[in-house]
């Protein structure tokens, strides 16, 4: 969303994506806070690091196409 907001020529659309990014950041903080009610912070941080490493691997293996919740026109929908 940050990358989209920085590249869009339409100021209102860029503003929308910046707002969505801020909203997602608040959601992240809320979920981390909730997790810390159940597990110690070091465990939560370790799990977040594990998830970040996995996401980095997935992104590194993905085709170099900018997408957000999108699919390629050649992708087939699974039933």
DSSP string, 6-60: HH-S-HHHHHHHHHHHHHHHHHHHHHHHHHHHHS-HHHHHHHHHHHHHHHHHHHH
Whether 77 is covered by a domain: the verdict is: no
pLDDT in tens, 36-72: 999 999 999 999 999 999 999 988 888 777 666 666 6
Whether 30 is covered by a domain: the verdict is: yes
Whether 71 is covered by a domain: the verdict is: no
* Domains of the chain: total: 1
**Given this model, what pLDDT does residue 62 score?**
81
Least confident segment among 7-11, 32-36, 43-47 = 7-11
Whether 68 is covered by a domain: the verdict is: no
User: Which domain covers residue 25, as residue numbers?
Assistant: 2-61
Instruction: Assign 2 to helix, strand or coil.
Output: helix
Whether 73 is covered by a domain: the verdict is: no
């Amino acid at each position: 969303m940050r990358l989209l907001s920085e590249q869009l020529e339409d100021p209102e659309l860029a503003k929308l994506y910046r707002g969505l990014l801020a909203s997602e950041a608040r959601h992240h903080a809320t979920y981390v806070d909730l997790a810390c009610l159940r597990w110690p912070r070091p465990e939560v941080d370790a799990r977040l690091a594990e998830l970040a490493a996995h996401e980095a691997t997935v992104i590194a293996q993905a085709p170099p196409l900018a997408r957000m919740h999108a699919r390629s026109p050649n992708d087939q929908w699974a039933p």
